[in-house]
Amino acid sequence: MNAPQSLEQLCTARCVPCEGGVPRLTADEIAEQIKCLPQWEFVSGPDRIRRTWKVRNFVAAMDFFQKICVIAEEQAHHPDLHLVQYRNVTVEIWTHAIQGLSLNDFILAAQIDRIAVS
């Protein structure tokens, strides 16, 4: 990856299919790219990004997951979704094929951030 992408670039980009031939982003590239997604945190081992929301109730959590599912299918890039105590939602994103982060992960995160959460 060269220069970090802006939030607008991430929101309008499409994920590129990855079957393992893409290099992982470096620590410096991750640190620069995550600046435009301040509510996401970097987690190592394997490298991934994570964000947590508290939603109104179980139905709101399932609705949020369904909206994420639509985006994930459109992008052919699928996050790990977690629901704890019926309303605490966590999304983790990483490129499984490379066991780390690629630009696709930031594209998906930016697009998930556009979903209205209740």
Q: pLDDT value at position 19?
A: 73
Split at pLDDT 50, 70, 90, the class of 46 is: confident
d(CA 118, CA 99): 32
Domains (ranges, CATH) in the chain?
25-113 (3.30.1360.20)
CA-closest candidate to residue 112, choices 83, 84, 76, 70 = 70
Overall size of the chain counted in residues = 118
Asked if residue 33 lies in contact with residue 113, where contact means CB atoms within 8 angstroms, the answer is no
Q: pLDDT value at position 21?
A: 75
Report the percentage of the chain scoring pLDDT > 70. Answer: 97
Neighbouring CB atoms inside 10 A of 11's CB total 14
Q: pLDDT value at position 1?
A: 59
Question: Cα–chain-centroid distance for residue 1?
Answer: 17
Q: What is the pTM of this model?
A: 0.94
d(CA 106, CA 49): 8
Q: Could you tell me where the DSSP H helices lie in the chain?
A: 7-12, 27-33, 58-75, 103-113
Report the percentage of the chain scoring pLDDT > 90. Answer: 86
pLDDT in tens, 4-26: 899 999 999 999 887 767 889 99
pLDDT in tens, 84-112: 999 999 999 999 999 999 999 999 999 99
Q: pLDDT value at position 48?
A: 97
